[in-house]
Structure 1
């Protein structure tokens, strides 16, 4: 068996860990003696949802005093006190606690509020008591007195009183539970930094192993290559890949750069050949003052485009190279500015390359001049055109609805960050849309099918896909934006960026299984916690607005922007995407973890037939 601890953290603005992040449930696992090692970079894994007003606006919420427990029929439950975003008492939650269920402590389903009393609640505990067939709940209100009750299931609307004998047993068990909490390691060195301790729960080793694989960043643990290979040329040998092993139980196939000196394929016999695992190097940042980066492969070459922060977002430049690494030093070619067309002013934002029916397009946002007129546009590369030649790109067209009407009313709402992808025989677009007038509702994600024969028009009515309902998504401002699709054999993932475009900018994730209707928002699973933050990779702050590209060797790369230091400019980075045990993307596997020094070298016995005499 293993032990995990659920807890919140103290607010620490110097670590970019303000109240909306600190007031969430974190997890740590006991590792040695009484020490607990945090999961997920000591960041929250469970956040309270915002409540929604009739006009669609959101009220940010947080949680405190989380309590982990096991459910009757397997799985886990969590109870916590819902509070206002900054930790104050929440009037909507007076006398109630918030309840979740989870199969694996990775994905959670919020069940709603459970009414316990009338006063504000400070702490809560819960366990299932088989003898009475109910969940026993103990809570402490503002007056400091412990109160008890029971519910038959976790979706009950209110608590029932305990019988006299049941109460006596519950009081004894609560005393034992609180004693266990008090006996938790008291020295600071034994607890995760900033830990505000909750409770400890015993889980199986199998459950603990799954948490380690999902919530710890994997590291390279080994490499293998056939001990003997028969080949008649370097081309034939290079078809053989090395296999890298990782601490999460996954493997990745990688190319090998062989030492070709002293190897003669004309010679019959065996020869020992040595090589190194091919690993592209991308020191962060790869491009200063370039945000919202996107890389595409087109006709055998790589192309890079990004928002240009250096000139206040008035130009778009493209880089071209034969390799992904070559983009770092490739020259830039101007393809659009805010002076060429009268309807295209400043704020040229978030350009993305997308192929539709064999043609190359750039989706981007632009304005006639002012911020509130920022809307999604499309440019098309002419047949046989050169992507780095601005004359080969069409005049930008504003994206419209299927009937030709505007998606929203410019001057009151903006659209931006439109992305496009092909999935199960249809083209789709997802974008961010924000109403500012008459009331700022924050930025929401929308999805619709796209007309591939006329890609400046939608094919279906827009559907709301996501709102910034969690604390990490509404930190400083309510924003979901920057979506981009990532496809695997069984699932479609859409990562997106949330919160203000500052050091607390993060990447969230949505997923949906193959065969399900993308236009039904209930079919999507939204991760309760972000998968890339300022705590994921040391020295990178405000990570966000990412895109993906697959190279010629089948490796998927994440292009993203972050700040090199808290005061640094938004700048582009590139890092390999690692896929975990469930096939989900992990964006924090750095080069140092991806291929360890001791596993960079391989060798094999090369058997060559030589030339026939």
Structure 2
């Protein structure tokens, strides 16, 4: 069979790399705009932005001897194919706001990717020029079996180097003068776009990037044409399969009209039904942040930071269903007047079940902000979570040697979460050293003593620093970790940046059979899962948690702002899982279920043995 050139061309699609022009700092600051973005086209002419027109590749910060970070950005990224068919990116590294980066003078930043989704920063390639690089491109030369790097310096002169192996960062040849280079590019109508180069890639690679970097949309609802049933319970158990544009599916409960069937009589009946979708208008709780919903003894409980009184109280809601929590009555379980050492800033409460007992983790201070530390309260056995008197006095978290987790007044701790993995309990939290220097907020993990959950049973291990532009925008913060476990995969989401409209959700994933206390066994995504550009009208989404309902559906409970400068408020949205099993946090209700598909029918054959 002879394949025509036209048919061959259909096997390839097109990826455009670009950066963006910064906008107002609360909307799209330089640390966000100066990152590599991607757009997709089937024909090389009509492009659409991926990932909500947000960056997918950011430069890492560098670190000083005292632990503080120097934020970095990137300009003029160029994406290309390596000899083995994987992908490389070269870019000019800059200071955070786009100025010349002294540390990378005479060098360009090199990244590697196997799929245009996950990127590893290899480091700075020394071009041996001794001047600031302004622009760069790279191609693999099949004839010479070498990589050719062409670049322009700050004075407008053009040079080139050759390298046999880009991963050997110091192996570039001496630069030679060359003619100006021209990029193959495109200029689609995408907000703020500063286009770079177009790369032709295999169709399956491009489409996978599209599926992973675009929220899916419901394209069909499927139910069987016929079922055999003996009772209304058989009918109620029948669920619909929602199919999505990326090839994924999700089970949906159906409200079947069982009254159409005479169950005592054998026969065939046409039964109609309505696909069920819980509706949660944003926000579900105003002036609340850092929300957590937990199921305990057949009931659901909601707790959150109370912004309404400047974080002086913690309230709890109780309901038989998650939906019922929206209108449920709040009852006070902790305030700043009950205990002498709990004086304010009651932050980020989380309910966790440990060895069949219920605990409340939260942060509090004995005085000012610099004394903010993680605390734990225990519900007495048989107690009622809505009764303040059934909760123990807050206990400050201890290290495994019995000393306090942090030295109050110098290092604060907050946002402690707990999860169980392979029959062991783990705690993850955020610490921020302020004295002698402010190093920003970092994420830690340790094993937890299940008999005394206010005590760690291993030394803390550093998991993540706010080293990407989306995590150090306006301030250096990684906080609010929470575990999501599904099908043997462990995901740890966390919140980053300032608690404003640029707040966002990042992701750490544990490698298969990895050791949780080995940082090398975790993979950190280069770009955030959820930002202000993910869902219209929700600004600064972050500090989220997850809960599984009675139907087996995972829900994301988060806070965001209903306006650019509006107070924080809580929302709930279903968590979808993409083609690779990773969580999708931006699947809105209209994309989750199209209204035209909600009405379904099935032929029910009633048989009795």
The interval holding the TM-score normalised by the smaller chain is over 0.9
* Structure 2 alignment gaps of length 5 or more: 1-11
Q: Determine if the alignment matches structure 1 residue 367 to structure 2 residue 369.
A: no
254-263 vs 342-351, greater mean Cα deviation: 254-263
> How far apart in 2 are the matches of 1:399 and 1:552?
33
User: Residues 504 and 406 (structure 1 numbering): CA distance in 2 closer, same or farther, change over 3 Å?
Assistant: same
User: Residues 462 and 15 (structure 1 numbering): CA distance in 2 closer, same or farther, change over 3 Å?
Assistant: closer
Partner of 2:184: 180
> How far apart in 1 are the matches of 2:43 and 2:380?
63
User: In 2, are the aligned partners of 1:490 and 1:513 still within 8 Å (CA)?
Assistant: no
> How far apart in 1 are the matches of 2:391 and 2:173?
72
SS in structure 1 of the partner of residue 16 of structure 2 = strand
User: Residues 377 and 162 (structure 1 numbering): CA distance in 2 closer, same or farther, change over 3 Å?
Assistant: closer
Give the drift of 1:86: 0.2
SS in structure 1 of the partner of residue 468 of structure 2 = coil
Give the drift of 1:233: 2.0
User: In 2, are the aligned partners of 1:507 and 1:530 still within 8 Å (CA)?
Assistant: yes
Q: Determine if the alignment matches structure 1 residue 246 to structure 2 residue 258.
A: no
SS in structure 1 of the partner of residue 304 of structure 2 = strand
> How far apart in 1 are the matches of 2:44 and 2:63?
45
> How far apart in 1 are the matches of 2:540 and 2:367?
27
152-161 vs 388-397, greater mean Cα deviation: 152-161
Identify which of 56, 61, 66 aligns with 2:72: 61
> How far apart in 1 are the matches of 2:79 and 2:368?
50
Q: Determine if the alignment matches structure 1 residue 350 to structure 2 residue 348.
A: yes
Partner of 1:561: 559
Partner of 1:46: 57
Partner of 1:469: 467
> What's the TM-score once normalised by structure 1's chain length?
0.95
Partner of 2:135: 123
Partner of 2:221: 223
Q: Determine if the alignment matches structure 1 residue 505 to structure 2 residue 490.
A: no
How many residues are treated as equivalent by the alignment?
597
> How far apart in 2 are the matches of 1:81 and 1:158?
16
SS in structure 1 of the partner of residue 125 of structure 2 = strand
User: In 2, are the aligned partners of 1:111 and 1:154 still within 8 Å (CA)?
Assistant: no
* Structure 1 alignment gaps of length 5 or more: none
SS in structure 1 of the partner of residue 285 of structure 2 = coil
**Cα RMSD between the aligned structures?**
1.5
438-447 vs 11-20, greater mean Cα deviation: 11-20
SS in structure 2 of the partner of residue 180 of structure 1 = coil
> How far apart in 1 are the matches of 2:507 and 2:25?
26
User: Residues 200 and 606 (structure 1 numbering): CA distance in 2 closer, same or farther, change over 3 Å?
Assistant: same
> How far apart in 2 are the matches of 1:50 and 1:311?
37
Partner of 2:18: 7
> What's the TM-score once normalised by structure 2's chain length?
0.96
530-539 vs 8-17, greater mean Cα deviation: 8-17
Partner of 2:4: none
Partner of 1:403: 401
> How far apart in 1 are the matches of 2:394 and 2:111?
47
User: In 2, are the aligned partners of 1:428 and 1:449 still within 8 Å (CA)?
Assistant: yes
User: Residues 93 and 33 (structure 1 numbering): CA distance in 2 closer, same or farther, change over 3 Å?
Assistant: closer
Which aligned pairs between 1:272-311 and structure 2 lie closer than 5 A?
Answer: 272-311=270-309
Provide Cα deviations, 1:499-539, integer angstroms capped at 9, x if missing partner. Answer: 00001000000001342110010110000000000000000
Identify which of 96, 104, 126 aligns with 1:93: 104
User: Residues 345 and 127 (structure 1 numbering): CA distance in 2 closer, same or farther, change over 3 Å?
Assistant: same
